[in-house]
Amino acid sequence: DVKVTQSSRYLVKRTGEKVFLECVQDMDHENMFWYRQDPGLGLRLIYFSYDVKMKEKGDIPEGYSVSREKKERFSLILESASTNQTSMYLCASSRGGRGNQPQHFGDGTRLSIL
Amino acid sequence: AQKITQTQPGMFVQEKEAVTLDCTYDTSDPSYGLFWYKQPSSGEMIFLIYQGSYDQQNATEGRYSLNFQKARKSANLVISASQLGDSAMYFCAMREENRDDKIIFGKGTRLHILP
The secondary structure of A39-62, three-state, reads CCCEEEEEEEECCCCCCEECCCCC
Between the CA of residue A24 and those of A32, A72, A92, A97, what are the distances in Å?
Answer: 9, 5, 9, 20
What stretches of A1-114 adopt beta strand conformation (E)? 4-6, 10-13, 19-25, 31-38, 42-49, 56-57, 64-70, 73-78, 87-94, 104-105, 109-113
Is the distance from CB of B36 to CB of B20 less than 8 angstroms?
no
Q: pLDDT tens for residues A33-89?
A: 999 999 888 899 999 999 898 899 999 999 999 999 999 999 999 999 999 999 999
Given a cut of 80, is residue A1 above it in pLDDT?
no
Question: A24-35: per-residue pLDDT in tens?
Answer: 999 999 999 999
Whether A8 shows a pLDDT value over 80: the answer reads yes
Q: Which of A43, A57, A60 to mutate to test the interface with B (most CBs of B within 10 A)?
A: A43
pLDDT at B29: 87
pLDDT > 90 fraction of chain A, expressed in percent and rounded? 80
Residue A2 has a pLDDT of 66
pLDDT, residue B100, reads 66
The 8-class DSSP code of residue A9 comes to: S
pLDDT tens for chain B, 115 residues long, are 569 999 999 999 999 999 999 999 999 888 899 999 999 998 889 999 999 999 989 999 999 999 999 999 999 999 999 999 999 999 999 988 766 678 899 999 999 999 9
pLDDT score of A28: 92
User: Taking Cα atoms as reference points, which of A12, A2, A11, A58 lies closest to residue A34?
Assistant: A58
For residue A102, give how far its alpha carbon lies from the nearest alpha carbon of chain B (Å). 7
* Nearest residue of B to residue A48, measured between CA atoms: B102
Helix (H, G, I), strand (E, B) or coil at B84: helix
Q: Does A96 touch chain B (CB under 8 A)?
A: yes
Cβ-nearest to A31 among B31, B101, B106 = B101
pLDDT for the residue numbered B99? 65
* Per-residue pLDDT, A63: 96
Q: What pLDDT does B96 receive? A: 82
pLDDT at residue B1 in the model: 58
